[in-house]
């Protein structure tokens, strides 16, 4: 398999040729020629989202000298998939590494981190974590939490995953969880983000910002607040942050996010979902009044940071009604969960609490 992956690295293109039929006309959802990773819900399971039975797909020691690969992004590419992975060696300093996969389950990850070209002395190579990967009009954009006198949203572009150009940081510090929309809305780029602090941030709501050029960001609007006792939403009472690139559906932008609850033993990170208005994503149409996945398995409750499920990417096959969500588990490993896209949208609408 490695030789196929290497060949794709050399020859892969971001073009639409050879992709599955399920890509809609606006190109916002791009499917690979390869099938989206999938496993049917097991008999007796009633959950709207279910885990891959062979999780984690990338374990604690996936490569020599590596201590954890988690909170990572993937996208269709050529006849397979590409990923940008948060990887930590024994120094525990997070960097971004490219990975390749034929099937979305089995990943070859480059041993050396991405080198970003940048003419900006204000953007030195510092820590980089929690990437998201978004294709807009044939260009792949990577957004991540980068160091710039504290964490904020860094942005880079690539077409071939071999050369990478840094753009200006999107926002002032402190900010995290920068998530682009996969197409322009009203002629503007849109990005979700979560203003934060310089530490482990005991607060946080999701905002959306607009840009005409991916450089100047403004018109910042509140999208969703964290929940609390007033709305009976403890699972998301401390902070929330956007996860995978929003998925365009007839009922709005399906936005999977993490919701955090503080406990006497630390934070617990769960997954929820919302539907944002297609034309004005600052308007929440529906939002789950319960988590759709919460740490329960050993690899989620035990690791470098216990009790974390942290979604960063999703692959969609609209024709087969399949959704595969990539999430980091316990700040240690990469995992997969699945849902029927139609069922998840109905679930969000039927179990909604907008506040
Ligand atoms: C957040 C981020 C994530 C991490 C999570 C749980 O603040 O740092 O990368 O997964 O905490 O530790």
Residue 21 pLDDT greater than 70, yes or no: no
Of the pLDDT bands very low, low, confident and very high (cuts 50, 70, 90), residue 261 is: very high
- pLDDT score recorded for residue 34: 87
What's the gap in Å between 240 CA and the centre of ligand 1? Answer: 11
Which numbered atom of ligand 1 lies nearest the CA of 129?
A: 9
- pLDDT score recorded for residue 1: 41
Q: Give the residue among 89, 97, 105 at the shortest CA–CA distance from 53.
A: 105
Cα distance between the two ends of the chain: 48
pTM of the predicted model as reported, rounded to 2 decimal places:
0.92
- The residues spanned by each domain of the chain are 25-38+45-350
Nearest residue (by CA) to ligand 1, atom 4, is 331
Residue 176 pLDDT greater than 90, yes or no: yes
Nearest residue (by CA) to ligand 1, atom 10, is 331
What's the gap in Å between 198 CA and the centre of ligand 1? Answer: 12
The tokens for 63 are 């490569």
Q: Tens digits of per-residue pLDDT, 71-109?
A: 999 999 999 999 999 999 999 999 999 999 999 999 999
Q: Tens digits of per-residue pLDDT, 121-155?
A: 555 568 999 999 999 999 999 999 999 899 999 99
Of the pLDDT bands very low, low, confident and very high (cuts 50, 70, 90), residue 222 is: very high
Residue 175: CB within 6 Å of ligand 1?
A: no
Residue 88: CB within 6 Å of ligand 1?
A: no
- pLDDT score recorded for residue 302: 98
Rounded Cα distance between 258 and 291, Å, is 9
Contacts of 211 (CB under 8 A, 6+ apart): 170, 188, 189, 190, 191, 217, 218
Q: What is the CATH number of domain 25-38+45-350?
A: 2.115.10.20
Residue 130: CB within 6 Å of ligand 1?
A: yes
């Amino acid at each position: 398999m490695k030789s196929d992956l290497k060949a794709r690295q050399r020859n892969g293109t971001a073009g639409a040729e050879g992709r599955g039929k399920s890509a809609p006309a606006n190109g916002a959802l791009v499917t690979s020629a390869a099938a989206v990773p999938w496993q049917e819900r097991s008999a007796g399971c009633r959950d709207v989202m279910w885990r891959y039975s062979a999780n984690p797909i990338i374990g604690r020691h996936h490569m020599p000298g590596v201590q954890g690969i988690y909170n990572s992004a993937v996208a269709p590419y050529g006849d397979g998939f590409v990923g940008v992975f948060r990887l930590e060696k024994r120094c525990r300093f997070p960097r971004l590494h490219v990975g390749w996969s034929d099937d979305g389950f089995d990943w070859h990850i480059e041993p050396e981190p991405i080198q970003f070209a940048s003419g900006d002395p204000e953007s030195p190579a510092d820590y980089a974590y929690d990437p998201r990967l978004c294709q807009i009009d044939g260009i792949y954009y990577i957004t991540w939490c980068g160091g710039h006198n504290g964490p904020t949203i860094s942005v880079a572009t690539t077409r071939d995953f071999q050369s990478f150009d840094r753009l200006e940081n999107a926002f002032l510090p402190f900010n995290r969880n920068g998530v682009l929309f996969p197409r322009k809305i009203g002629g503007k780029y849109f990005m979700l983000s979560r203003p934060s602090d310089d530490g482990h941030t005991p607060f946080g709501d999701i905002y959306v910002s607009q840009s005409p050029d991916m450089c100047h960001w403004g018109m910042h609007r509140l999208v969703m607040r964290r929940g609390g006792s007033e709305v009976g939403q403890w699972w998301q009472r401390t902070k929330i942050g956007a996860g995978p690139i929003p998925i365009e559906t007839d009922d709005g932008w399906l936005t999977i996010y993490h919701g955090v609850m503080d406990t006497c033993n630390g934070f617990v990170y769960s997954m929820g979902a919302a539907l944002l208005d297609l034309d004005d994503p600052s308007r929440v149409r529906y939002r789950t009044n319960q988590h759709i996945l919460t740490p329960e398995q050993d690899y989620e409750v035990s690791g470098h940071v216990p009790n974390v499920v942290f979604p960063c990417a999703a692959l969609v096959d609209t024709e087969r009604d399949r959704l595969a969500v990539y999430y980091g588990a316990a700040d240690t490993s990469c995992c997969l969960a699945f849902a029927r896209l139609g069922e998840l949208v109905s679930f969000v609408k039927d179990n909604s609490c907008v506040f």
